[in-house]
Structure 1
Amino acid sequence: MNELLLSVHVIAAIVFIGPVTVAVSLFPRYAREAAGAGAPGALPAVHLLHRITRVYAVLALVVPVFGIATALALDVLTDAWLLVSMLLTAIAGLLLALVVLPRQAQVRAVLDAGAGDQRVDVRALAMGAGVFNLLWATVVVLMIARPGSTTGV
C-alpha cells in the first residue's frame, strides 16, 4: 500500500505540478510579446498558459493529499524535512493562488482590452513565478535528500 500511495504522489507531482511550473514560467514572456504586438500567436499562448496554470493548480491539490497519506503510512509525518516540505508547499500554493493566478488574469484582461505596452508590466509576475518554481525545486530536493531521515538517501 505504501508503494501505491507514494507512486500516486510522485506521478501526480510530475503530471500536475510540472505543467504549472512551465506555464507560470512562460506566461510573462508571452505576455510581453502580446503587449508588443510583435508576435501574432502570443495572445492565444497567454490564454492557454493561464488556463493551464488555473486548471493544473486545482488538479495539483492531489499531490499534498497523497503526500500526507504516504507520510502517515510511513510514519514520518512529524519528521523535520517533511514538515519543512509541507510548509514550503503551502507557501507555494498560496503564492500561486493569491499572487500568480490573479496577476495572470489581470495581465490577460489588459491584453484583451488592447491596452498594449502602456499598461502591461510583468516583472512582478515573473518574479513570483521564479519564487514559486524555486519553492517547488526546494521541496523536490527535500523529498529526495530527506535530511535527518533515518531511512537515509
Structure 2
Amino acid sequence: MTKILLIVHVLAAIIAVGPVTVAASMFPAAARRVIDEPGDDRARAVLRNLHRVCKVYALVGVAVPVFGIATANSLQVLGDTWLIVSMILTAAAAGILAALLLPRQSAVLEGPAGIADTRRLAMYTGIFNLLWAVVTVLMIVRPGSTTSV
C-alpha cells in the first residue's frame, strides 16, 4: 500500500504542482506584454489561461499533501524533522499561492491598477517556486535516511 500512496503522491506533485509553477512563472511576463500592448486580445487571452491553470491545478494540488501525509504515516516518518519542515514549507507555498499569487493575478486581469504590481507578483512567484524546490530536495535527500549518503 505504501508504494501506491507514494506513486499517487509523486504523480500528483508532478501533474498538479508542475503546471502551477510554470504557469505562475509565465504570468508576470505575459502581464508585461499586456501592459506594452493593451489592445492585444491574444496576450490578454494568454493571461486568462495562465490564471485558469494556476487556479485549477492549485485545487488538484491538494492531493499532494493528502497523499504525502498518508505515505509518511505508512512509512512511520510523520515525526521526522525533514518531513515537518517539508510540511511547513508546503503550507507556506500554499499560503503564498492562495493569499498572494491568485488574488494578484486576478487583479491584473481586472485592469490597469492590478497590472502595476507585476514586479511584486514576480517576486512572490519566485518565492513560491523556491519553496517547492526546497521541498523537492528534502523529499529526495531526506536527511538521516539511507539515501542521503
Report if TM-score (shorter chain) is over 0.5: yes
Contact 2:86 2:135 in 1 (8 A): yes
The two structures have a TM-score, normalised by structure 1, of 0.91
In structure 2, the residue matched to 1:124 is 120
| 2:131 equivalent to 1:138 | no
Pairwise CA RMSD of aligned residues? 1.6
Q: 1:42 Cα shift?
A: 1.3
Larger relative helix fraction: 2
Are 1:152 and 2:139 matched, yes or no? no
- 1:33 corresponds in structure 2 to 33
State the partner residue of 1:54.
55
Unpaired runs of at least 5, structure 1:
none
Other-structure match for 1:15 = 15
Shift of 1:78: 0.4
Percent identity between the two aligned chains: 53
> Are 1:146 and 1:152, in contact at CA under 8 Å, matched by a contact in 2?
yes
Which ranges of structure 2 fall in alignment gaps of 5 or more residues? Answer: none
Change (3 A) 1:37 1:67: same
Write out per-residue CA displacement over residues 80-113 of structure 1, whole angstroms, 9 at most, x where no aligned residue.
Answer: 0000000000000000000000000001101xxx
Aligned to 1:2: 2
Rate the CA distance shift 1:119–1:4 in 2: closer, same or farther, 3 A: closer
Residue pair 1:33, 1:39 contacting (<8 A) in 2 also? no
> Normalization by structure 2: what TM-score?
0.94
Question: What is the number of residues matched between the two proteins?
Answer: 147
Instruction: Provide runs of 4+ in structure 1 moved above 4 Å.
Output: none
Task: Identify the range of structure 1 (35-44 vs 72-81) with the bigger mean alpha-carbon deviation.
Answer: 35-44
* 2:93 and 2:131 in contact (8 A); partners too: yes
